[in-house]
Amino acid sequence: MKIRDFGVEIWMNAYETSCTYNLAETCVQSLSVGELLDLSGMGQRTLEELLTTRLTYGEIEGSQRLRRAIAGLYEKQRPEDITITNGAIGANALTMLTLVEPGDRVISVLPTYQQHYSIPESIGAVVDILPLREENGWLPDPEELRGLIRKAGGRVKLININNPNNPTGSVMEEPLLRQLVEIAREAGAWLLCDEVYRGLCHQGEPYTVSVADLYEKGISTGSMSKTYSLAGLRLGWITGPRELWEMLSRQRDYHVISVGRVDDLLAAVALESREAISRRNLAICREGGRLLEEFVTGQEHISYVKPKGGTTAFLKYDLPMESAELCRRLQGETGVMLLPGSALDREGYLRIGYCNDPAITKTGLEIFGRWLDEQATHKV
């Protein structure tokens, strides 16, 4: 199966291990096992459980304890609706492999995680892009979605959205989600919302409404990586209607068997203590957001739409340089890593992750600012 190169992952693999100041990180500063156990207040009990866990495949579909904890993140989802996968990357891939066939029509927002348009394309679907525009706060325009569905003759199999959005940090609130659901319903389309950053709205209620709770053909994918700072667990999930679970399960047998028992146990512990993790993580996001706002306000070459959720923002810059060249030079000369917009199919922008260790965010931004000033001085 031919598939386009995955721009973000290729860039991250090439540059992530050699940088000094990682401003390309998308996880809220990751937790160690010790920190997780401390935050959970269940350290001793969990350690004992770990030591006596026999490393079989475990419950193939994920433990009841874990699926119950995941169902608790939703209004209407039940443990038996949850499919456990290897990260959200596994969740998105499994959903598309299950639903999409050659010749199908699929719509995906852009910018987003590239899986959402490149996997269906590789299966042989016709993919139409629903662009997120800066002037619209990086939100999708429902009328444009209607137009794309009309263009497809009304026959769209799947619509892929992402909330909160990577890379822009935009958040779709319930009224907009309901509009999109209504349009998907009229077309009879599945609506997949990648909700891997759900729980990270910085002000007010941290959890957006999930499309799985709003729509009978709504699918939510999520994981432990971003909101819960546990990417090393490689644990994600899909939830949606029972009919979907049956189809996913047949496909899953070929790709997953089960996730690790250690991952399953630690994920359950984390979700059962999610209020403590959430308090820690929202504080990191708000502090990072404050540092970023201060930086953008003082920088004449950078502008942005202030992110409302997630861990990333999409910075527009006005230097006469392609984004890949800018990022290569910046990292080579200063050790500061950013992600070029070109890796996300949007030239002229830089993705910044500002919810890593606040000390790294602070120093990285100061160095980036000085570097930008030097570039501007040389230009004159």
Ligand X SMILES: Cc1ncc(COP(=O)(O)O)c(C=O)c1O
Q: Which residues bind ligand X (CB under 6 A)?
A: 26, 87-89, 113, 162, 166, 194, 196, 223, 225, 231, 236
- The residues that bridge with 123 in the sheet, in sequence order, are none
Residue 206 makes CB contacts below 8 A (sequence gap 6+) with: 199, 200, 278, 282
- Buried-state track 160-193, b at ≥16 Cβ within 10 A, e below 16: bbbbbbbbbbbbbeeebbbbbbebbeebebbbbb
CB of 221 to ligand X, least distance (A): 7
111 and 167 Cβ atoms separated by less than 8 Å? yes
The distance from CA 311 to its chain's CA centroid, rounded to whole angstroms, is: 9
* Residue 21 backbone class (left: φ over 0; alpha: ψ -120 to 50; beta: rest): beta
CB of 113 to ligand X, least distance (A): 4
Fill in the DSSP letter of residue 133.
B
Report, in Å, the least distance between residue 119 CB and ligand X: 12
CB 160 within 8 A of CB 117: yes
CB of 87 to ligand X, least distance (A): 3
Q: How far is the CB of 181 from ligand X (least distance, A)?
A: 20
Residue with tokens 């949606």: 240
Residue nearest to ligand X (CB): 87
Q: Which residues of 28-51 are buried (b: 16+ CB within 10 A; e: fewer)?
A: bbbbebeebbebbeeeeebeeeee
Q: Which is nearer to ligand X, 149 or 230 (CB)?
A: 230
Tell me the closest approach of the beta carbon of residue 55 to ligand X, in angstroms: 22
For residue 378, count other CB atoms closer than 10 A to its CB. Answer: 7
